[in-house]
Structure 1
Amino acid sequence: MRKLALFIAAVSSMGLSAAEPQLKNTGLYYRLFAPLTFYHNVASSQFNIISNDSDEVSQAIDQALMHVYLKRPELVKVTESEQEEAGSLRQDIIETPVMQEVEMVEQAAPMPETPEAAPVEVVIEKPNFWKYKGDANLQFMQNYVSDNWYKGGESNQAAVGSVTLEANYDNKSKWKWDNKLEMKLGFQTSPSDTVHKFKTNEDLIRYTGKVGLQAANRWYYTLQMLAYTQFYHGLKSNNTKVFSDFMSPFNLSVGLGMDYKVQALSNKLTGTINMSPLAVNYRYVDRADLAASFGVKTPDHSHSLTDFGSQITASLTWQVNDVLSWKTRIYGFSSYHRSEVEWENTFTLRVSKYISANLFLFPRFDDANNRDENLGYWQFKEYSSLGFSYNF
């Protein structure tokens, strides 16, 4: 633009104002708009006596450029030789004016109509706070039972089936409600028993329910209910006496206290620990002849006994690795008159997805039963098994 201004000033000083319309209507004067270049013909034309260019405007451009070469040489960027090395100019652009092709239409095409958005039905579903799970086992085993085991039984080879069902509610805010139903039933045959063809070696129906209100973090104010009995009557070899039966005994325990949710060892150890300083234990024995053996020793020979005291319950699972796990349950109740402690341990070695080996250890203390000469009030049960298992 500075060069154009100098050129216009030079042309004006020469009285060639008529060249201005031509500058607007032709593309021949590219030298005015290209980077300021030193053209050889501009300098050589100044030394010619007779001008070879009849175009007055071209002469004016040459004179203007020469004026710039002499007065402002620092504005010259390149020479004509350097420009030719970089590339030649397109002649079709220089000689032929560039015409803009414009297509005229009578009426613009209408904008496409956008269909209205269809109404969307929003369905809000109430979150489901219930979780269900369970497992089933059918095991074949050998077991050991002490002579004073409170439900009877005999050491032998046997089979046992078990089902555990859980339905737990947790609204992720304050309330939780846990429900667990355990059922076990097993039979054994004893070659030495001439009285009974089959006897039970494992017999349990147990329900555990807990309603908790969160106190802080993993602590809950909890009301716990524990109820258990058995399916079938318990027998001993070569003995016609029934040592236990359905609802003989039936135990119902209700405790008020605190519940702690266990999450340790990178969540490999999980479970709950319940401590109830206020607890009531109700024991009912339907068969009157068995009442005394289960601690129901009342003057009026009633079938039930109610004790007040405190209790502790712990249910933990430790997943040692991918194939080995340990489940343990501890239950303890103490009143002013008696104490009862149970510690169940199940070690499971998973052979495959549906086959596992179990080791079950169950020490038990109950001073309401008759005292044994060797073990005192302690009782012990053990069995190892191999069989089928399924989790759902």
Structure 2
Amino acid sequence: MKKLLSLCVIAFLATTAINAQTTDEAKKAADAAAASLSKSKADIKDGWTKGGTLNLSVNESGRNDYWVKGGDKFSLGVKGIVDYNFDRKKGKTNWLNSLRARYGVVRSTSTLDKFVKNDDYFNFNSTYGKEFRKNWSYAGFFSLETQFDQFFMTPGYIKLGPGFLYRPNTHFNLLLSPAMANITTKLAPSMKPMAAFGVDAGKTTAFGLGAFAQANLNYDLAKGINYKSVATAFSNYLDHPGNVIFDWSNLFTLTVNKYIGATVSINTRYNDLEIGRLQIQHGIGVGLSYKL
């Protein structure tokens, strides 16, 4: 009986010691996580924060006349991507800017040996805000979205309006606006006689006013692997507010060395004034890459 009691006491003491050790380890882990979160929230310093990627990729494929499995006899693709952020903080003011651009062409026997555009996108955002409480700012927002060639600004989207900026760290920010002006342009002369993109026939612009949200994420997943995401949503109070215009761009950048890298882009979009279907565009490129 005494031996059994002794064993029970020893087991109880051992269990207590293990639990105490586990509790200490859990507490240390929780403290470390809290410290990391606190550091993340406090890592915005006065001055400029700049960074981005310039990528140029080329892909080629071909076959001779005896290749049984078929395919294009010759194919050449070239694509350039610019993704750059330049932000400034001074005291209670935040000025956030981003430039995103893509342009790609492909030439193959299927295109009659002519270069055909397969990607064309330009977007510039600028947000200026002044903090009224920790991490929150009153802000003004400007955005221009279009393509480089073949019906420049057709369509084009210009957004301008006030909002609230939430910026807890340099990796993430969120803009919310209850009253964002949206101007849709249709400047190509050949498109003016017809109705398109929500712009009436014979007109070149259409005005909208609605609720707008934009979330930006810029994060290093691992050494040499960066992920950028931009998601926007707009609901026009003046024309079918239930039809939300949605855009989500994702870019993974993998750095091999200073001059060689790879990009993976996945872009989704829904705008019932353009086509009324979910639009998906994706690309993988390996080539020259330079960290800006």
Q: Same fold (TM over 0.5)?
A: yes
> Which residue number corresponds to residue 259 of structure 1?
165
| Cα deviation digits, residues 60-89 of structure 1 (max 9, x gap) | xxxxxxxxxxxxxxxxxxxxxxxxxxxxxx
> Which residue number corresponds to residue 197 of structure 2?
294
| Alignment partner of 1:323 out of 199, 208, 224 | 224
Note the C-alpha offset of 1:165.
Answer: 4.2
* Alignment partners' CA distance in 2, 1:321 and 1:204: 28
| Paired amino acid for 1:382 | H
Q: CA RMSD in A?
A: 2.3
CA contact (8 A) 1:138 1:159 kept: yes
State whether structure 2 residue 279 is matched by structure 1 residue 384: no
CA contact (8 A) 1:200 1:232 kept: no
Number of aligned residue pairs: give it: 227
Task: Name the SS for the 2:149 alignment partner.
Answer: coil
* Alignment partners' CA distance in 1, 2:173 and 2:54: 22
* Alignment partners' CA distance in 1, 2:205 and 2:181: 13
Task: Structure 2 unaligned segments of length 5 or more: list them.
Answer: 1-45, 61-74
CA contact (8 A) 1:354 1:390 kept: yes
| Cα deviation digits, residues 346-366 of structure 1 (max 9, x gap) | 122222232222211111111
| Paired amino acid for 2:114 | K
CA contact (8 A) 1:255 1:311 kept: no
| Paired amino acid for 1:220 | S
* Alignment partners' CA distance in 1, 2:136 and 2:53: 27
Task: Name the SS for the 1:189 alignment partner.
Answer: strand
Note the C-alpha offset of 1:130.
Answer: 4.2
State whether structure 2 residue 77 is matched by structure 1 residue 158: yes
Note the C-alpha offset of 1:132.
Answer: 4.4
Where relative contact order (Cα < 8 A, 6+ residues apart) is larger, the structure is 2
Task: Structure 1 unaligned segments of length 5 or more: list them.
Answer: 1-127, 143-155, 234-244, 372-376
CA contact (8 A) 2:157 2:185 kept: yes
* Alignment partners' CA distance in 2, 1:186 and 1:214: 40
> Which residue number corresponds to residue 66 of structure 1?
none
What TM-score do you get using the length of structure 1 for normalisation?
A: 0.53
| Alignment partner of 2:98 out of 180, 183, 195 | 180
Pair 329,222 (structure 1): closer, same or farther in 2 beyond 3 Å: same
| Alignment partner of 1:208 out of 98, 116, 125 | 125
| Alignment partner of 2:274 out of 359, 369, 372 | 369
Task: Name the SS for the 1:135 alignment partner.
Answer: strand
> Which residue number corresponds to residue 54 of structure 2?
136
Of structures 1 and 2, the larger Rg is shown by 1
> Which residue number corresponds to residue 37 of structure 2?
none
Q: Which has the higher strand share?
A: 2
What TM-score do you get using the length of structure 2 for normalisation?
A: 0.70
| Paired amino acid for 1:384 | I
CA contact (8 A) 1:205 1:229 kept: yes
Note the C-alpha offset of 1:308.
Answer: 0.8
> Which residue number corresponds to residue 353 of structure 1?
258
Of all paired residues, the percent bearing the same amino acid is 26
* Alignment partners' CA distance in 1, 2:287 and 2:168: 30
